[in-house]
Copies of this chain bind each other. A is one copy, B any other.
Amino acid sequence: MILTVTPNPALDITYHLDHVRLGETNRVRSVAERAGGKGVNVARVLAQLGHAVTCSGFLGGPSGDDLVRLLDGSGVLQRWLPIEGQTRRTIAAVDSDGATLFNEPGPVLDQDAWAVLRDHVLSLTSPGDVVTVSGSTPRGTSPDDVGAFVSALRAHGLVTLVDTSGPHLLAAAKAGADVLKPNHHELRESTGAPDVLSGARRLLSSGAGAVVVSAGEDGVIAVTGTHAWQARPAEVLRGNPTGAGDAAVAALALACERVSGGIALEDALTAHLPDVVALSGAAVLAPEAGAVDLDAYRRMRAAITVEMIDAC
């Protein structure tokens, strides 16, 4: 069983307009809403692939209710933790020149919110299940909260997969997350390391089990205590890169599920690296984040090569 945690989900609202003018009244032509947040995207991709998946995280207010309604029928089982504040909205005002975005600050968590989420997630899972944690965190969250959360999941026998950035990424590494999935920018910023391999090794020496770095057109680099592999896409893709990292996490979650079936983490990761790259690419080709082009996924997967690039 896979459960995706989105600490800071969002109601994503898109306005289509003829032309956005600053300082004026703009008549919106059409409105589209979707359930947003990186962990929500992970769950939607898994559901699209036909896998059972549960999502959780902090959710509140009328925009939270709206998110639940929008995700209804997607095949994702929703087990949100209700909070006092209101789930953030994002507004994208799109015209022929591009998109102007407004990101709300979102709720502020109570001091015990992360402990309550921990108990909530533990009540939904059993040892051997896979839990992913993706994206930003609400205000009121410290890196220690993220570290303690990951530690508690691991102590419960869960396989943990974390996609975050900055001090939260370092805290997840120290807490011994099984797999970390930063992109190469996030890895450089959080570790200060000059290249992907040395950055990944800093996270491994902190305590992470494996680090899988998404690097755009260079594909994906997986680093464990003993080896490093790179999987490259066979095609250069044009499309919407938002959500590509989340599709990679979905593929990694499926790899992690095999670990609970008795396969070694390193073997599971290397076996699934073509899926990780192909599913990321298939997300680029889909019009919106949280969806993949399944035909492209199957076509690309066969043409992806995995290469060992380093051994310790």
Q: Are A23 and B62 in contact (CB under 8 A)?
A: no
Q: What's the nearest-Cβ distance from chain B to residue A89, in Å?
A: 8
Q: What's the nearest-Cβ distance from chain B to residue A130, in Å?
A: 31
B22, B65, B105: the one contacting A65 at CB < 8 Å is: B65
Q: Are A22 and B22 in contact (CB under 8 A)?
A: yes
A15's closest neighbor in chain B, by CB? B102
Q: A62-B62, A62-B63 are in contact. Are A23 and B103 (CB under 8 A)?
A: no
Q: Are A98 and B23 in contact (CB under 8 A)?
A: yes
Number of copies: 2
A-side interface size class:
20 to 34
Q: Which residues of B contact A99 (CB under 8 A)?
A: 23
Q: Are B63 and A26 in contact (CB under 8 A)?
A: no
A100 located at the interface, meaning its Cβ lies under 8 Å from any Cβ of chain B in the complex: yes
Q: What's the nearest-Cβ distance from chain B to residue A12, in Å?
A: 13
Q: Are B69 and A26 in contact (CB under 8 A)?
A: no
Q: A86-110, CB under 8 A of B: which get 1 and which 0?
A: 0000010100011111111100000
Among A27-35, A206-214, A256-264, the stretch that binds chain B is A27-35
Complex: A220 Cα to B26 Cα, angstroms: 30
Q: Are A28 and B105 in contact (CB under 8 A)?
A: yes
Additional pairs, 15, CB under 8 Å, beyond known A22-B97, A62-B69: A17-B102, A22-B22, A23-B100, A24-B101, A25-B101, A26-B101, A27-B103, A27-B105, A28-B103, A28-B104, A29-B105, A30-B105, A61-B66, A62-B63, A93-B102
Q: Which 8 A-B pairs have the closest CB atoms?
A: A62-B66, A25-B101, A62-B62, A23-B98, A28-B104, A26-B102, A62-B65, A22-B100
